[in-house]
Amino acid sequence: MWRRRFTSLPLFFSHLQQVRRADELKICQAFCTETVKPPVEGESNSGRNSPFVAFVLGGPGSGKGTQCLKIAETFGFDHIGAGDLLRKEMHSDSENGAMIQKLMKEGSIAPSEVTVKLIKKAIESAENRKFLIDGFPRSEENRVAYERIIGAEPNFVLFFDCPEEVMVKRVLNRNEGRVDDNEHTVKERLKVYKAITLPVANHYDKKGKLYKVDGTGTQEEIFERVRPIFASLSRLST
Ligand X SMILES: Nc1ncnc2c1ncn2[C@@H]1O[C@H](COP(=O)(O)OP(=O)(O)O)[C@@H](O)[C@H]1O
Q: What angle do CA 217, 140, 116 make, to 5 degrees?
A: 90
Q: Residue 115 or 232: which CB sits closer to ligand UDP? A: 115
Contacted by 218, from ligand X, ligand UDP, Mg ion, none: CB < 5 to 8 Å by type = ligand X
Contacted by 219, from Mg ion, ligand X, ligand UDP, none: CB < 5 to 8 Å by type = ligand X
Tell which phi-psi region holds residue 135, choosing left (phi > 0), alpha (psi between -120 and 50) or beta: left
Paired with 133 in beta bridges are 55, 80
Residue 136 lies near ligand UDP (rule: CB under 6 A): yes
Query: Rounded to an integer, what distance in angstroms lies between the CA atom of residue 84 and that of residue 237?
Result: 29
Residue 197: strand, helix, or coil = helix
For ligand X (CB under 6 A), the number of binding residues is 14
Q: For ligand X, what does the binding mask look like between residues 171 and 190, x meaning CB under 6 A?
A: --xx----------------
Contacted by 66, from Mg ion, ligand X, ligand UDP, none: CB < 5 to 8 Å by type = ligand X
Which range, of 59-67, 108-116, 180-188, 229-237, touches Mg ion by CB under 5 A? 59-67
Which of 38, 39, 51, 58 binds ligand X (CB under 6 A)? It is 58
Residue 115 lies near ligand UDP (rule: CB under 6 A): yes
Which residues, 6 or more positions from 24, have their beta carbon under 8 angstroms from its beta carbon?
Answer: none
Listing from the earlier edge strand, what are the strands of the sheet with 130-134?
78-81, 130-134, 52-58, 156-161, 210-214
Using alpha carbons, list the distances in angstroms from residue 84 to 90, 104, 169, 235.
10, 12, 21, 30
Q: Residue 39 or 81: which CB sits closer to ligand UDP? A: 81
Q: Residue 60 or 228: which CB sits closer to ligand X? A: 60
Query: Rounded to an integer, what distance in angstroms lies between the CA atom of residue 156 and that of residue 144?
Result: 16
Which of 31, 39, 64, 180 binds ligand X (CB under 6 A)? It is 64
Q: Name the residue among 39, 28, 60 with its Cα closest to residue 191.
A: 60
Q: What sign for the dihedral angle of Cα 90, 58, 14, 228?
A: positive
Q: Residue 27 or 210: which CB sits closer to ligand UDP? A: 210
Q: For ligand UDP, what does the binding mask look like between residues 69 and 108, x meaning CB under 6 A?
A: ------------xxx--x----------------xx--xx
Q: For ligand UDP, what does the binding mask look like between residues 25 and 64, x meaning CB under 6 A?
A: -----------------------------------xx--x
Query: Rounded to an integer, what distance in angstroms lies between the CA atom of residue 68 and that of residue 12?
Result: 21
**Binding residues for ligand X (CB under 6 A):** 58, 60-66, 170, 173-174, 218-219, 222
